[in-house]
Structure 1
Amino acid sequence: MNIDTGSLVTFIIMWGIPTFLVIRSYLKMDTDDKKSTLNNFKSRRFILTIGFIIIGVLFIHLDILFTNTIIKISGIGLLLIGGIFSTIATIDMWKFSKIKSLLNLILISIAVFLS
């Protein structure tokens, strides 16, 4: 299993910097905000939409790093499932805020296009 140095650097930059920033901002929160954030992350809606999309993109990037097709196929599957659930959530959100639902749909489309 050969790891390309350029792919490793790209992977560390693309995943390391956002992870560091999220952890740093979480540690700066007060206890009420931390509890609220954890409750949001544990919600079924977050896991089925954003969680599947992020894990799918992570698996696809791991495939680029390790050149393993099984990881890529599972990443595409998770990305597809997350996209389907996000589309359903966007349709439900359309009743309340049309701008947020269009923004959500555009961001999901960009994530799928880039992968």
Structure 2
Amino acid sequence: MNIAPDQIIPFLLMWGIPILFIYRGYVKMDEKEKTDVKRSFKTPHFIFTVGFLIIGLFIAQLGNILSLIVIKHIGTIILIIGGVVATVDLWPRSKLKSMSVPLFLTVAIYFLNS
């Protein structure tokens, strides 16, 4: 297991800054908004679309940094599942947006595996 030091800083910035902003926004919410956010994050719709995309990308990047091919492939598979579910979910509402998800997913997988 080799840790790529040149990839640690971008990884920490890419994941750390948004997490800090989200946490700061969550702390500023009142109790009703906090319960609404918790409830919406626990829905299967959120978990299988946005959740799988975020978790898959995180795991794939972590596998990339740690130079563990198995972890990277697991993250890529989760990312693909999230992309397929998001595409199917968006299809009735917007055909153009639903076709952009596989395009962005293909680009992300290309850069993750190169």
TM-score (norm 1): 0.84
Conserved in 1, the CA contact under 8 Å of 2:90 and 2:97?
no
Paired residues, what number? 109
Change (3 A) 1:24 1:109: farther
Residue identity (%): 32
Q: CA RMSD in A?
A: 1.7
CA-to-aligned-CA distance 1:42-82 (integer Å, 9 cap, x gap): 00000001111101100111012100011111011101110
Equivalent residue, structure 2, for 1:80: 80
In structure 1, the gaps of 5 or more residues are none
Conserved in 2, the CA contact under 8 Å of 1:53 and 1:78?
yes
Corresponding letter in the other structure for 2:52? F
Change (3 A) 1:13 1:76: same
Q: Partners of 2:4 and 2:43 in 1: how far apart? A: 37
Query: How far did residue 110 of structure 1 move?
Result: 2.2
CA-to-aligned-CA distance 1:22-55 (integer Å, 9 cap, x gap): 1110111011111111111000000001111101
1:109 aligns with 2:95: no
Corresponding letter in the other structure for 1:89? D
In structure 2, the gaps of 5 or more residues are 110-114
Q: Partners of 1:38 and 1:104 in 2: how far apart? A: 26
Q: Partners of 1:26 and 1:108 in 2: how far apart? A: 30
Conserved in 2, the CA contact under 8 Å of 1:59 and 1:74?
yes
Conserved in 1, the CA contact under 8 Å of 2:4 and 2:67?
no
| 4+ long deviations beyond 2 Å | 101-112
Structure-to-structure mapping, 1:34-113, within 5 angstroms? 34-92=34-92, 94=93, 98=94, 102-103=96-97, 105-106=99-100, 109-113=103-107
